[in-house]
Amino acid sequence: MNLSRNWLSDFVNTDGIDNQTFCDRMTATGSKVEGYEELGSDIENVVVAKVTHMERHPNSDHLWICRVDAGARGHDIQIVTGAQNLFEGALVPAALPVAKLPGGVVIRAGKLRGVESNGMLCSMGELKLTSHDMPGKAEDGILILDNDCENRLGEDIRDVLMLRDTVVEFEITSNRPDCLSVIGLAREAAVSFEKELHVRQPKVQGCRGSDRVENYLNVRIDAPDLCHRYAARVVKNVRIAPSPLWMRMRLRASGVRPINNIVDITNYVMLEYGQPMHAFDYRCLDGSAIVVRRAGKDEAFRSLDSTDHVLDDSMLVIADRKKAVALAGVMGGENSEITDATATVVFESACFNGASVRVTAKKNGMRTESSTRFEKGLDPENCLPSLERACELVELLGAGEVVDGVLDVYPKPRPLTVLPFTPDRYNQFLGTHIPTGHMIHTLEGLGCRMENDRIVVPSFRADLACMNDIAEEVVRIYGYDQIESSNMHAETTLGGRTAKQQFQLETENLLVGMGLSQIHTFSFISPKDYDKIRMPADSPARRSVVISNPLGEDTSVMRTTALPSMMTVLERNHNFSNETVRLFELATVYLPHDAADELPDERRVVTIGLYGKTDFYALKGICEGILKASGIAATFAACTENPSYHPGRCASILAADRSVLGVLGQADPRMASNYGFDAPVLIAELDFEALFAHANTQKVYRPLPKYPATTRDFSFVCAEETEVGAIEGIMAKAGGKLVEKVELFDIYRGPQVGEGKKSVSMRVTLRANDRTLTVDEADQVSRKILNDLELKMGLTLRS
């Protein structure tokens, strides 16, 4: 809401309060100011002047040398101009050196093609005015002022054209539609600055009994659930003309374009009273009737911006006997628009259901000044004063003759809210010591009627409905800064993280400790991302939660896997030429249920992505690190079937119960190339929920060994395909309890072992808890190990 301080001064005297103080105080009491603009401050030294003499410029075929009379600023000033609409005797705005014009333009004395020019004659555009602000004036050429300026030569153009004002921009919250008006803000200002509010009853003379509105019209509400009140008056003998300068300038300051007197009056009243109004051309109403009804299914309607709409029965229309003439509270119809030929006008001042207006405006893609006010829920008691004000303005402007009588259909008058007045409770709740007298003063200033222990809430404050609401009114005017900070004296609560939250935090720390950096990525992806990671077309994991109104396809489905997010980030880093990158994310994935009305499962996964100086075993080491820290005994099994991964370089991580904890490996080169990689990319996806379920973070101390260990080394030559994991497993099992550790310490490939083969060297550490192992015992275990390896894998010691 843009508020003109000139206009405000009609209702409350805030003279002497500078703009900044005004804005700060209004914000402090709850009417948030976004900023203010001092209109006219960009114009300096532009005055009214009269062209007294004109002659052609000797060195130009289009320039004129004018002599102007600018009153006290000089009676004979020479100014060269290129305009062709001047004549001797014309009254014009003259910028006299050094003058300032909007847009930072500075006018100094100078020479134009050798002829001295002591200023500039201004066009409308040069003063930042439009033909809407100055109806009937030429847009090109110099602005020719009205003749009544004859006796104002030398006066500041800002005073002559009423260009001086301050516009304060308020951010009005949705609970305060009453503040979308000059009067509403005047009330707030009056309370905020302890001033008196002057709102008088509009006075309409009418036609002194010569004519009644009933002779023209009747009004019926067929949908009282959507229209709480409908009031109308008729104006005859209308003379459509521009509205006067003061009205145009106030509208302009409020950001509304002046059109003509009748339309301007409706806008003026909307801004002043907060009540949207509409004016119909009476001639276009069939059957002399107004029917407020639901639209028919597929009823066609053309709004006055010449847009066609197809309506439905959830929408409310204003109709005559035959057709809809307005979409209630949103916009009038082209069929009943005010034109220059309009002779009789019907003014509408009504109160429509907010939610209905909102839905209608949304469905038709037309949010208007009117609809944004109605949708917040307006005061039905405001209809009549606004209507009267409109008619008063008609008479003031001489725009027509107001017909006697008001048609007012108000099926169910709304009773006023009455609340108990409980000052002690307010103070207790707020933690304040506001005097009762101050509370009463504030509430009365805001329009409440105080009756002993009761507050009668004014009809325009539907937002005041309970104790908290009154407490807020009281304290916002008293000052939020008067609330003293206190410490809660309440029951002790135990703060902290749950086991799972703690586990997540530790997992993140662990990954960071292992040299990985954490990323955060969007939860929504493109359905095409599933193709990029080579997810099979029939994979159930493609079924995603779909956003019905996404910003674009790229962010249209909730991911069921965080792999595309990681790959995209890796790709971006690769494009940024970051050489070695090690990342992880604790990402949420969203797995839909079958029923559409059920919320999806939200599960967390740990994704890891590496490229650069790294390899599969580095990734595996990271995964093993997580498993070890989580106290999970897991095994790794080759996995050849995950299409995102290299079939020969992928492993599943299996818990002791054989459930899958995750997968890791090198990205399938085709997948990697979808993200611009030709070098290896390593990725892992761990199911965080499963990790947590299997985690055993209970630490139990095992006594340190008292007896020495014995080691035995074994080397075998085996086929390239033989898995070290299998050898390890057999060795550990064969050795039984005495085996403390089995580790790979060398792999050799080369001519000595032959093509397609490798030499695997393993070290077994043996130890007993209760004695030093004898050589015989160790040898016995070694024999058993060798025996089992030969039996189960056909491996023999390398000779």
Within positions 763 to 782, which residues make up the interface with other proteins, using CB under 8 A? none
Closest approach of other proteins to the CB of residue 497, in Å: 6
Adjacency order of strands within the sheet including 710-719:
710-719, 757-766, 739-748
DSSP states along 378-442:
--GGGHHHHHHHHHHHHHHHT--EEPB--EEE-SSPPPPPEEE--HHHHHHHHT----HHHHHHH
Identify which of residues 168 and 742 has a Cβ nearer to other proteins in the complex: 168
Closest approach of other proteins to the CB of residue 517, in Å: 4
Place of tokens 């995750």: 662
Among 102, 348, 168, 264, which Cα is nearest to 256's? 264
Burial 322-332 (b: 16+ CB within 10 A, else e): ebbbbbbbbbb
Within positions 170 to 209, which residues make up the interface with other proteins, using CB under 8 A? 173-176
Question: Does 19 help bind other proteins (rule: CB under 8 A)?
Answer: no
Helix (H) or strand (E) run with residue 62 in it: none
Q: State which of residues 193, 480, 636, 748 lies at the interface with other proteins (CB under 8 A).
A: 480
CA distance 797 to 425: 90
CA distance 281 to 311: 22
Closest approach of other proteins to the CB of residue 527, in Å: 15
Identify which of residues 251 and 557 has a Cβ nearer to other proteins in the complex: 557
Closest approach of other proteins to the CB of residue 46, in Å: 31
Question: Does 468 help bind other proteins (rule: CB under 8 A)?
Answer: yes
Closest approach of other proteins to the CB of residue 463, in Å: 8
Q: State which of residues 71, 74, 97, 600 lies at the interface with other proteins (CB under 8 A).
A: 600
Closest approach of other proteins to the CB of residue 194, in Å: 18
Question: Does 443 help bind other proteins (rule: CB under 8 A)?
Answer: no
Annotate each residue in 390-429 with x if it binds other proteins (CB under 8 A) or - if it does not, as one string.
--------------------------------------xx
Within positions 321 to 360, which residues make up the interface with other proteins, using CB under 8 A? 354-355, 358-359
Within positions 547 to 566, which residues make up the interface with other proteins, using CB under 8 A? 547-551, 555, 558
Closest approach of other proteins to the CB of residue 516, in Å: 4
CA distance 254 to 527: 47
Q: State which of residues 376, 389, 649, 767 lies at the interface with other proteins (CB under 8 A).
A: 376
Question: Does 20 help bind other proteins (rule: CB under 8 A)?
Answer: no
Question: Does 693 help bind other proteins (rule: CB under 8 A)?
Answer: no
Identify which of residues 237 and 580 has a Cβ nearer to other proteins in the complex: 580
Question: Does 583 help bind other proteins (rule: CB under 8 A)?
Answer: yes
Question: Does 505 help bind other proteins (rule: CB under 8 A)?
Answer: yes
Closest approach of other proteins to the CB of residue 619, in Å: 13
Within positions 648 to 667, which residues make up the interface with other proteins, using CB under 8 A? none
CB 201 within 8 A of CB 477: no
Q: DSSP secondary-structure letter at 480?
A: G
Question: Does 481 help bind other proteins (rule: CB under 8 A)?
Answer: yes
- Count of residues that interact with other proteins, criterion CB under 8 A: 89
Among 277, 336, 276, which Cα is nearest to 302's? 336
Identify which of residues 28 and 197 has a Cβ nearer to other proteins in the complex: 28
Q: State which of residues 515, 536, 705, 750 lies at the interface with other proteins (CB under 8 A).
A: 515
Closest approach of other proteins to the CB of residue 605, in Å: 15
Among 749, 738, 746, which Cα is nearest to 773's? 738
Within positions 28 to 57, which residues make up the interface with other proteins, using CB under 8 A? 28-30, 32
Closest approach of other proteins to the CB of residue 498, in Å: 7
DSSP states along 575-624:
HTT--SEEEEEEEEEEE--SSTTSPPEEEEEEEEEEESS--HHHHHHHHH
Q: State which of residues 503, 590, 616, 692 lies at the interface with other proteins (CB under 8 A).
A: 590
Identify which of residues 53 and 425 has a Cβ nearer to other proteins in the complex: 425
Three-state SS at 656: coil
Is residue 417 classed exposed, middle or buried when 0-12, 13-18 and 19+ CB atoms within 10 A define those classes?
middle
At position 329, the amino acid (one-letter code) is: G
Closest approach of other proteins to the CB of residue 444, in Å: 19
CA distance 58 to 37: 44
Question: Does 520 help bind other proteins (rule: CB under 8 A)?
Answer: yes
Q: DSSP secondary-structure letter at 333?
A: B
CB 80 within 8 A of CB 184: no
CB 302 within 8 A of CB 231: no
CA distance 726 to 91: 104
Question: Does 594 help bind other proteins (rule: CB under 8 A)?
Answer: no
